[in-house]
Amino acid sequence: MPFQQGVSKKKTHPPSTQRYLPIAEVREDTIILRDGSLRSVLLVSSVNFALKSPEEQAATVQGYISFLNSLSFSVQIIIQSRRFIIDTYLDDLKQREREQSNDLLRIQMADYRQFITELVSLGAIVSKRFYVVVPYNPVSDKQKSLVTRMSETFSLTKVIKMKEEKFRQYRSSLDRNVAHLKGGLQAIGLNSVELDTQSLIELLYATYNPEVVVSEKAPEIGKMEVEE
């Protein structure tokens, strides 16, 4: 049946995946989940365990055990492997090669660039990053029913934002957890840095858009479109 004149059909869009994520907002270097709990993320350095002596390996393992036993809260350890995009690096080398006035250095740079190009052609270069997610849960999930937790997970993205006073209170408790974790990691020879707001957005964007992130960067703060 034809549409009546002057009446337009409203376009419908498929539901965004944002509404199915447990994340309510990213604010002041903190991830706030729908259930009101907070998360901070640490980027952690690594050690080459295989190159250590047996005594050093035993000390590292014992230090790691002591570190885990010192925790009074759960943590999540995440290892992400990402394809390393080297095209920009090769373009930069080519530009420097053109600008190089020393003939010997120019030849060496050309040989190095060729070596990198051949190395990449043998297979994709993958970079690994190590993260530790530090939580603060004001109310334990054990006190919630299964129906409540499911409704929080699949609720709409439009949520009541956490009040400033409550956020400061929770964030202070989260900071204590972060400080404790940093100290424990430092004791076993691992450096760590807390991700800021933009870094958190980029991490989440790369996690949920692994194919797109190769050619498209995460949006900057203030330029994001949020599904209501």
Instruction: Note the pLDDT of residue 36.
Output: 85
| Residue percentage of the chain with pLDDT more than 90 | 33
Tell me which of 120 and 34 has the higher pLDDT.
34
pTM value > 0.75: no
Q: Which of 176, 144, 194, 197 is nearest to 34 (CA)?
A: 144
Contact indicator for 170, 136 with CB cutoff of 8 Å: yes
At 71 the three-state DSSP class reads: coil
Contact indicator for 187, 67 with CB cutoff of 8 Å: yes
Chain Cα centroid distance, residue 12: 32
pLDDT above 60: residue 88: yes
pLDDT above 50: residue 28: yes
What is the per-residue pLDDT across 120-159, written as a single tens digit (0 to 9) for each?
777 767 778 999 999 998 875 445 555 555 554 444 333 4
* Total residues found in the chain within this entry: 228
Quick one: pLDDT band at residue 206, thresholds 50, 70, 90?
confident
Burial (CB count within 10 angstroms: exposed 0-12, middle 13-18, buried 19+), residue 126: exposed
Give me the mean pLDDT over the 72-100 stretch.
86
pLDDT above 80: residue 16: no
149: enclosing H helix or E strand: helix 146-153
Place of tokens 């430092």: 186
